[in-house]
Every structure is written in C-alpha cells, then in structure tokens.
Structure 1
C-alpha cells in the first residue's frame, strides 16, 4: 500500500473533468433572517444552527436587507455553483463553503466576481486569492475521544500516538474508530488529501484503519454524537468548530502535536449575482472585529487557549486558498485516493 500511495500523485491536472459526487441530495435546511426589502441569497455548508447568531446580527445592522439562507452539503453546493456558472440556474449572491478546494476550482473557472477593500487586503495571503475568494474562519481538524471510556494514558496526542494505540489495542478499538467518508464529504476529502501529502503517516494510518475495521461516515454531527454516546471511542480529522458547537461534555479534543490542519471556510461572490453590493456588505461584516469575535464565540475562529498556545507554529498546516488546491480535484488523483480510502474501510468485510 505504501508504494501505491507514494505514486498516487502522478499525472496531469484534468481540470475540465469534474468530480463525480453520486446522486444529488436534497437541500439540508433553510432559514430567513431579517425583513428588509433587498433579499441576499446565501448558499452555504455552514449549519444554520451554528451561524444564525451571526446572521441575526448582520441583518440587525443592515435593516434594509434580509437574508435567505440555504444549507447544503459541500458536494451538492459545488454542483449548484457549477450549474450557476454555466448559466443553467440563477446564481446565489454569496457562496460559503468548508470544501475550499471546490471554491478554488470555481474561482479558477471564472465563476466569481472580484471585490477589494482594506479588510480583504489585510487578510493573510493564505486566506485570500485573486480578490475573488476569502477565508473568514480559522478551524482546526482535531482528534476527538470519549472522556468516560478512554483513560488519560491512552489518549493519542498525535497521529503517531493514534497509530500506537491501534497497533496495541486492535480488539478493543475494532469498529470504534471513525472518520469522514471522503467520497460523500467534500470536507473529509480535503482533509484526507492534505494528509496524503504527509507521507510519513498517511499510508500507516490507512493500514491501521483497515486492521481495526474503522468506520467512515458522511457527517460531523453523526461522528460527534457517536463519540459522545460511546459507540465510537475515537474519531479522526473532525472539524473542531462543530465539536465546539456540539458542547458535549464527554467529548475530549486533541490538536495533533505532529501537525494540525487549519481550515479557513471560504466565501465567494458568484459572477452574475443579483445583489453584489449587498454581498460585499456581508463580506465586510464577516471580516470585521464584531463578527470575528462572534465567530470565535461559536468556535469558528480558534481561541488562544492552553491547547492552542501549546500548538507549535511548526505544527500548524494552514490549508491555503491557492491554485495548489486544484491538484485535489484532478480526476485521476481523486479517484485513486478515494479507492485507497474505500479499500481500507472495506477491510473488515473481507475478514
């Protein structure tokens, strides 16, 4: 498997060959904020339950606007955004997604409108690209565990620690380790692709997942709930903001010491948006100090607490908004990575 993984990233970029996302799923949720006459349509992967305080504050400060908010899965949102770019459906006014590789693809395909301001220019280079894509959050990918069922001595502080635990206690952990199904989850795929660039642990992790019959599932909420209830002992590469929002007292959180992936949820104003000026006002608000403080309160921006302070700068792996993300959408590479992942998670069925 290791040699297969090391040769995974050969081949030319097939930017025109888009991802196969499987059958389309229904819209996950909708909400309306405010009562202003100008309606701003937002299509987003961010859970309404998490984001609603921020939207409430935005419309309170912009009473001439109302927000029609639609929550979608990342793959479905990507498909809708491509269709809007191709002219087969009306575009949203704002697209906000955690699957930043898909957002970079959309910008590269000339699907975005430019916007420039002092706040967007003040963002670090890793959180903006071509004045058409901006990162508004800072969210770590974490390891979570059940605090009641896992002794402090067994809690893995890094991928190496997790590997050691899976090797030493395979029977106890069988069927009780989870992560994202990377074919169903654009976010899960992004994290797996980022991990695959770290050759020192990626192959070993897949082999260990196969040995313990690890579980792959689509959704953060399902993973966190399973850990809280004790059906799953440990979950890997879970988006930390969703863990914070869940407020489960029995769920512990680890920022991996070897490296911690940092995601910046990205925002785009689609080309042809009906309300580009209102979209710019939302972007300005989200990048402003008031909204950033609110995002920190709800877990979408990292606090500088004891765990975060202990995370060495060298351990931070920021997933940059850059053309490098296009590599993640190369059709051949994506298919190979999904096949490797699926093979690891089918191992239990072969035994």
Structure 2
C-alpha cells in the first residue's frame, strides 16, 4: 500500500470517527456550592486538552463556586459540527480552528460581550466584541536527538526540507504531521503556509517522499514521538509540546528561525447559550488579568494580556523571536480559507504534491 493510499484510508477512518455519533468526549465536572439553583450552570465545549484547561477552570470555580461547570474536550472539527447540530447546547466555545470560529461569529452565532475587559482587549486579538483570542501559541517542530546527531541541526523549514530531500529514505515512515483533510487546525496551517512560503509545496512533496504519517491531533503526534515510532514531528502546537515533553530530553522542540506560525484559541458565547450570564462571566475571566495570569503561570498556552510581562506571555516571546513569529490574522481573510472550492483546490493539490515522489 502506498503512502498516499495509507493516508487516504486513515483519513476516511478519522472522518468517520469524528462524526457526531462517535465523538471522543472527555469531560471535567465541578459541582455548584450547596443551595445553588438548577440554572446556576456553565457548559463549555473546547478543543483544549484537560491538562491545559484544568488550571483555568480550577481558578475560575474557586472564584465562582455557585456555578456547576461541565467542560467537554472535543477535536476542532467535532466541536464545530456539534455546535451546528445543537447551537443551544453550550455556553462557551473554545477552539484553535480559527476560520471555523470566525465563521460562526460572522454568521451571527456569537453574543456581544459588553464589559470593560472586552473594551480594553487588544484590537488585533478580537473581532468586534464577539470573538476573542486569549492564547498565543507558536507552531513548532519536534526532532529526536538521534536525527540531530546523525544529520545535523534542524532550525528552520529550509533545514527540514533539506533533511527530507537528502535523507528521506533513512526517515521513511518516521515523520509525522497533521492531516489537513481531517484536522481543522492542520488545514488552517496548510493554507497559511501555502501563502507564506514559496517552498511550501516542495516541503509537502518531501513529506510524501518520506512516507510521513498523517495525524489528527498534536497529542497523537507527541505520543508517537515519545514512543519513538516517529523521529521528526512537523507543525505541532508548541503549547502542548512544551507541556508533554518536559521530561523527554531526547526530543528537541524547535521554533523555526525563518518563520513560525502562531495560532490563538478563540472563545465566543453562542447567541443561544442556555446560561448567558455565566458564559459572560467566564469569557470576561478568560481575557481579564486574573485568568490571563493563571494562563501565563500555570499553563504553556501563552498569555496575551498587555499588562502581563515575563515568562509565559506573548510579549516575552515576541522579544525573543521577533519578526520570525507570524500570528494568523483574526479577520475576514479567514473566511477565504473555508470557501468550498478553494478548500477542495488546496486539498487536491496537497494530495497531489504529497504523492508526487511516489510517481517517480
């Protein structure tokens, strides 16, 4: 079975598994304090893994013990599909699939947040007062030290391309990246990079030549890297990688020197949220100094709040990396990525370039 056919078969399976009838649903629950009414509740649907979201929810619940909180952890596309099927189910939506979140807000599905925190939030990190970026997360590579020892440092996309072109046979089946057909985040990175780098399609072809595996989540990629099924991971969420690989010295996290995409998790309150007041309290907390301090101190997600300085903040990362950081813009350009014809055109070319080496 060729690399492309393996990936297409796996992609079909992932699409089936991501369907509404078979959602992988991890849940955190926090009980309300005694005497709270039945409507004192908050339901959050998030594409944010439990170790990262738990510190935020712990701190919020300490401040708001009157609320019974239920958090559902979903994949980006599953979260979007679930919302479209049941728009009145969740009070808050959190996702790193920026185009999908923007589309929901643009289509009128988000409430306006009328708070001082919303007014003060940086203009580049919000759309109107309906959609708010609250994290700052570079997209990274992860390289096993054995690759570095044998073939040299990988510091940039150009280095990775050279590595795959020269040593693709040695790395055959040992490289992993997102499948843009089944991952909302992976598709977003693909379309952004195709605009940003004139050599992006060469890199896709080189990944295909090395018979790279395609995954639906950063978590899948990290597990394979830790188990050493993979030696190189491309386009992983840096926040998850730093958290998961803290005790894995053989795996090096690389923020590419030439350019590094930066994604932000976007939060909104649906227009039909069943508990809108609780939802507004939580969203205000997310973008307020209290929640952002927790985010900077207790997670690897990267705080945006302009009053915060030091480790764990966007300001600190900008000082270290400068112009190499390329945040994905929060604006109407995101809608172009969801045009059906453009999406099909990009995925068709992606498959074609990925298979190009197999035809030689």
TM-score bin (small chain): 0.7 to 0.9
Per the alignment, residue 30 of structure 1 pairs with 27
Counterpart among 323, 339, 343 of residue 332 in structure 2: 323
Match runs of 1:242-321 below 5 Å: 242-246=240-244, 247-249=246-248, 250-296=250-296, 297-301=298-302, 303=312, 309-312=319-322, 314-321=323-330
TM-aligned CA deviation for residue 344 of structure 1: 4.0
Aligned 8 A contact 1:228 1:248 in 2: no
Query: Unpaired runs of 5+ in structure 1?
Result: 1-20
Query: Unpaired runs of 5+ in structure 2?
Result: 1-13, 304-311
Counterpart among 111, 114, 131 of residue 113 in structure 1: 111
Counterpart among 88, 91, 101 of residue 89 in structure 2: 91
- Give CA deviations for 1:225-261 in whole Å, capped at 9, x if unaligned: 2122222111111001111221342321111111111
Aligned 8 A contact 2:175 2:213 in 1: yes
Aligned 8 A contact 2:138 2:325 in 1: no
Match runs of 1:147-166 below 5 Å: 147-151=145-149, 154-166=152-164
Per the alignment, residue 192 of structure 2 pairs with 194
Q: 1:95 to 1:240 in 2, by over 3 A?
A: same
Distance 1:44 1:213 in 2: 32
Q: 1:269 to 1:139 in 2, by over 3 A?
A: same
| TM-score, with length taken from structure 2 | 0.84
| TM-score, with length taken from structure 1 | 0.86
Distance 2:136 2:232 in 1: 23
Equivalent position SS for 1:172? coil
Distance 1:306 1:173 in 2: 35
Q: Does 1:342 align with 2:344?
A: no
Distance 2:107 2:254 in 1: 37
Distance 1:123 1:306 in 2: 18
Per the alignment, residue 120 of structure 2 pairs with 122
